[in-house]
Amino acid sequence: MLHLRFILRQIAGSRNQAIIFVFCVALSLLILTALGGFSGSVRRSMLQDARQLHGADITIHSHYPFSEPLLKAIHDYEQQGIVQGALVNEFYSMARNPQSEKSILSDLKVVAKGYPFYGKVRLLSGREFSKVLSKGSIIVDQVLLDRLQAHIGNTLQIGSTLLTIVDVVTLEPDRPVSFFSFGPRIFIAAEDLERLDLIKKGSRIQFKYLLKVHDPALVDRLGEEFSAMTVPPQENVKTFKNADSRIKRFFENFLFFLSLIGMFTLVLAGIGIQTSLYAMLRESDYTIAIMKSVGATNRFITLHFMAMVMVLGTCGTLLGLILSSLLQLYFPTLFASILPANVTLTISWNVVFEGLVLGTIVVALFSFLPLLRIKNFKPAFIFRKEIEKSGGGILHYSAISIIILFFIGLVIWQLEDVKIGLYFILGLCTLIGLTALITEGLMLFMKKNTARSLVLRQSFRGLFRPGNATRAIIITLSASLAVIFSIYLIDHNLRATFIEAYPANLPNAYFLDIQPEQKTEFSTILGREAEFYPIVRARLASINNKPINRTQEREKRGDNMAREFNLTYRDFLLKDEQMLEGENLFGNRINALYSRGEVPVSVLDTVAENGDIKVGDLLIFKVLGLPLTARVTSIRTRTESKVRPFFYFVFQEKSLKDAPQTIFSSVRIDGEQLAIIQNTLAARLPNISVIDIGSTVEILAGMMHKMSSIIQFFTSFSIIAGLLIIISSIFATRMTRIREAVYFKILGAQSSFVVKVFTYENLIIALSSALLANLISHIGSWLVCRQLFNITYQPLLGSTAIMTAGVIVLVITVGLGASVSILRQKPIAYLRNERQD
């Protein structure tokens, strides 16, 4: 039999802690729903409608014109009315405005009638896409108009022809976000493709056959049928069901990372739940002791407090739901820059339900330990009011193990990847363990501390008040700050290296698809020294006769080994290259290899690692469908990962010189010069693509920045958890603090003294947390920058100082805010109520 009134009175008795508890529960629900809502929205709008994202039921990709048997099969089905097809070509090319003499690398999409089969291309004018795009006309991105100073009605030179701009595209169904693009979009009608004269030998053009299948039941069967006819590995059939776009993979990765952050915050909210519940129970110690001494069973008492937790948990859940619906309103502002405008950001019922279940489990888990304390609580407490060391016992440790196991399970379930899940947990444990360890050291130092100043000494003492969660606060705050700081530091270091200080000696312009016969003319136009690299495009068919598994490769988080690679040939190392394995590039037994029909190849360490390739392995490439059998003779590494051209596979000249190839060139050209050369090239050799690395890197950095701000948004939840624990801790030690304040005042301290003691106390907490966070984040970021990105690390002392100051102000404000009522306490009123020590 439960006494509801008793439960309510307990809650009222420790209402401050109850509120914190409720907030922590609400926070954990908020994290789950916010994250779930965000990823749900992204999935629903951009990823879920696979058919729209795919643009068709079946697509066939190739980098070369389609093979005859395949085309014939498609035409047959078209004639029978089973499928409807539309050919799409995508490639980069220069677009030039003859009036303004400006040109820009653009992302061309040549589409046949019928495109898109699913979804709609939206135009600024609101007109129907298929009616607007016709022979001789183009539809472009607004960015292109701005950059070329062009207007609707102007003509642009693309390849060897002039086309008229008729409209502006605002949304492409099969490309919901455009930040992966090196240039603005231009839609061209299929009828104009020939006239462009851009499809040259070896140039990188994507051929895409979009097929709409009238009977949905036939999609899989037809997909398999076409697959069987393709020329592997260059032709590739995907249905909307098994397709996996780059966008999708990118967002999957990003959401994956966010869910890591979410888990992390959930743990911290859990610590908050635990801290406040401990405090609440401690406030009820006296009641519990009396109940026990008059014969109440553990079961009886525990049930009541469990019911209390349930009541509070429900309140927290409701609050969480209200807060998440408010957050939803803020979503569009937050994510507007990264998601297209039409994406609806809503939290679905599914997400709410999932959040509820998970939230309940988290509350249950983190409430378990505090509730366990009731059982071990001795009624003798009535006689001896001293702090008992809680903990110990099999139940205690098994409870902790269950919490850990649950989180491992949760992480693995959320991340859908056992290995990475375990890595994450390991990382999280290291982070928290490390902070805990250093915190322990700091605490030891603080305890031993005998500061000169009385105020300071009192503040240090204050940190060790019984019931103060100093340890938990510092660990939580510093761990969450460490994450936020690290993201900031890495983000800004990358920016500093690649954008603000783009190295003066590095090439900043890449020229692609130079035909061998254009080399002389190109050099004349360029008018300066340039590095030239021959490029042969090929796919890797097998490693040691084990065929590359396309589907598996697509799902991999690393580089896709099934993609098309750029092979090159030379017999020297680049300036930034070193031998890692092997004496020289091609080894000493070249003739032996050739006599076996094999050619030597040197592999870059990154791809070697990714594909598990070792010296002596046999790689079979397909160059335009023809096999090239290569034996790995060495592994190279790059000394710095600056923006510099690099090649995974390097061959001898004689192995590749007869293969269809283009030339790639990279040059350093500063200022206006680049625009002029770009323009001349666009006019004279329009098939050559120019990539302005400087501005491309800037686009990438902008995108990175958006990502990092979203990550920081979600991480900031964990700071809230930390602050809640601070408030809980101050409330938990309210009586002790009041007592101290009163005694200080009786003994002749002014109120400013008491304020100072409390402020310094929070200052110490803030400083320690910030210090720890800085230590961890700087070491972590340094490691990431040096080891992962190979860039020099700048500690960004200014920003570090600002962040540290921000933390201090925040913690002190929150701390003083929670202490206001304590500071106002009149000594006499306290003395009257206090009877015993």
Partner 1 sequence: MSPNALEAIQLSKSYNVDSRQITVLDRVSLTVPIGSFVVIEGKSGSGKSTLLSLLSGLDKPDSGKIRLCGTDITDLSEDELAPFRNRTIGYVFQSFHLVPSLTAFENIAFPAELNRDPQAAVKAKELLHRVDLSKRMNNFPHQLSGGEKQRIAICRALINSPQIIFADEPTGNLDSANGEIIMQLLLELRQELMTTLVLATHSREISSKADAIARLVDGRIATSSEKVNL
Q: Give the SS3 label for residue 171.
A: strand
Q: How far is the CB of 14 from partner 1 (least distance, A)?
A: 21
Return the bridge partners of 188, or none: 110, 138
Q: How far is the CB of 744 from partner 1 (least distance, A)?
A: 8
Positive or negative, the Cα torsion across 212, 218, 220, 221? negative
- Distance of alpha carbon 697 from alpha carbon 708, whole angstroms: 16
Asked whether 616 and 593 are in contact (CB, 8 A), the reply is no
Asked whether 719 and 480 are in contact (CB, 8 A), the reply is yes
* Residue in the structure block whose two tokens are 């999932």: 354
| Nearer CB in complex with partner 1: 532/744 | 744
Applying the rule CB under 8 A, the residues between 379 and 398 that interact with partner 1 are: 386
Binding flags for partner 1, 3-32, as an x/- string (CB under 8 A): ------------------------------
Asked whether 267 and 407 are in contact (CB, 8 A), the reply is yes
Return the bridge partners of 691, or none: 510
Q: How far is the CB of 729 from partner 1 (least distance, A)?
A: 15
| Nearer CB in complex with partner 1: 526/755 | 755
| Nearer CB in complex with partner 1: 321/749 | 749
Q: Give the SS3 label for residue 461.
A: helix
Q: At 161, list the tokens.
A: 């022809």
| Nearer CB in complex with partner 1: 36/462 | 462
In the list 5, 448, 546, 835, the residue contacting partner 1 (rule: CB under 8 A) is 835
| Nearer CB in complex with partner 1: 419/835 | 835
Applying the rule CB under 8 A, the residues between 171 and 200 that interact with partner 1 are: none
- Distance of alpha carbon 701 from alpha carbon 695, whole angstroms: 10
Binding flags for partner 1, 113-152, as an x/- string (CB under 8 A): ----------------------------------------
Q: How far is the CB of 462 from partner 1 (least distance, A)?
A: 7
| Nearer CB in complex with partner 1: 672/837 | 837
Q: How far is the CB of 461 from partner 1 (least distance, A)?
A: 5
| Nearer CB in complex with partner 1: 48/825 | 825
| Nearer CB in complex with partner 1: 645/815 | 815
Applying the rule CB under 8 A, the residues between 729 and 788 that interact with partner 1 are: 736, 739-740, 743-753
Q: Give the SS3 label for residue 259.
A: helix
Q: What is the dihedral of CA 565, 700, 129, 243, to 10 degrees?
A: 50
Asked whether 462 and 740 are in contact (CB, 8 A), the reply is yes
Does 828 participate in binding partner 1 (rule CB under 8 A)?
yes
User: What's phi and psi for 3, nearest 5 deg?
Assistant: -95, 105
Q: How far is the CB of 440 from partner 1 (least distance, A)?
A: 20
Site size for partner 1 (CB under 8 A): 28
Q: Give the SS3 label for residue 660.
A: coil
Q: How far is the CB of 366 from partner 1 (least distance, A)?
A: 28
Q: How far is the CB of 459 from partner 1 (least distance, A)?
A: 11
For residue 192, what is the DSSP state? G
- Distance of alpha carbon 729 from alpha carbon 472, whole angstroms: 9
Q: How far is the CB of 470 from partner 1 (least distance, A)?
A: 12
Binding flags for partner 1, 345-384, as an x/- string (CB under 8 A): ----------------------------------------
User: What interhelical angle do 734-746 and 693-732 show, nearest 10?
Assistant: 70
User: What's phi and psi for 667, nearest 5 deg?
Assistant: -140, 155
562 contacts: CB under 8 Å, gap ≥ 6? 233, 539, 540, 548, 549, 550, 553, 554
Applying the rule CB under 8 A, the residues between 434 and 463 that interact with partner 1 are: 454, 461-462
- Distance of alpha carbon 158 from alpha carbon 108, whole angstroms: 9
In the list 330, 353, 445, 464, the residue contacting partner 1 (rule: CB under 8 A) is 464
Q: At 779, list the tokens.
A: 């070491």
Considering all CA atoms of the chain, what is the largest pairwise distance in Å, rounded to the nearest integer? 103
Q: How far is the CB of 769 from partner 1 (least distance, A)?
A: 22
| Nearer CB in complex with partner 1: 299/385 | 385
| Nearer CB in complex with partner 1: 755/775 | 755
| Nearer CB in complex with partner 1: 680/825 | 825
| Nearer CB in complex with partner 1: 126/748 | 748
Q: How far is the CB of 465 from partner 1 (least distance, A)?
A: 6
Q: How far is the CB of 741 from partner 1 (least distance, A)?
A: 10
What b/e string do you get for 178-193 counting C-beta neighbours within 10 Å, with b at 16 or more? beebbbbbbbbbbebb
| Nearer CB in complex with partner 1: 351/730 | 730
| Nearer CB in complex with partner 1: 99/752 | 752
In the list 292, 465, 622, 631, the residue contacting partner 1 (rule: CB under 8 A) is 465
Peptide bond into 507 cis (omega under 30): no
What b/e string do you get for 464-486 counting C-beta neighbours within 10 Å, with b at 16 or more? ebebbbbbbbbbbbbbbbbbbbb
Q: Give the SS3 label for residue 253.
A: helix
Q: How far is the CB of 750 from partner 1 (least distance, A)?
A: 4
- Distance of alpha carbon 17 from alpha carbon 274, whole angstroms: 11
Outline where DSSP puts E strands in 66-116.
83-97, 102-111
Q: At 579, list the tokens.
A: 């031998």
| Nearer CB in complex with partner 1: 406/744 | 744
- Distance of alpha carbon 664 from alpha carbon 667, whole angstroms: 10
* Residue in the structure block whose two tokens are 């022979």: 135
Q: How far is the CB of 743 from partner 1 (least distance, A)?
A: 5
Q: How far is the CB of 828 from partner 1 (least distance, A)?
A: 4
Binding flags for partner 1, 292-331, as an x/- string (CB under 8 A): ----------------------------------------
Asked whether 171 and 121 are in contact (CB, 8 A), the reply is yes
Binding residues (CB under 8 A) for partner 1: these are 386, 454, 461-462, 464-465, 736, 739-740, 743-753, 827-828, 831-832, 834-837
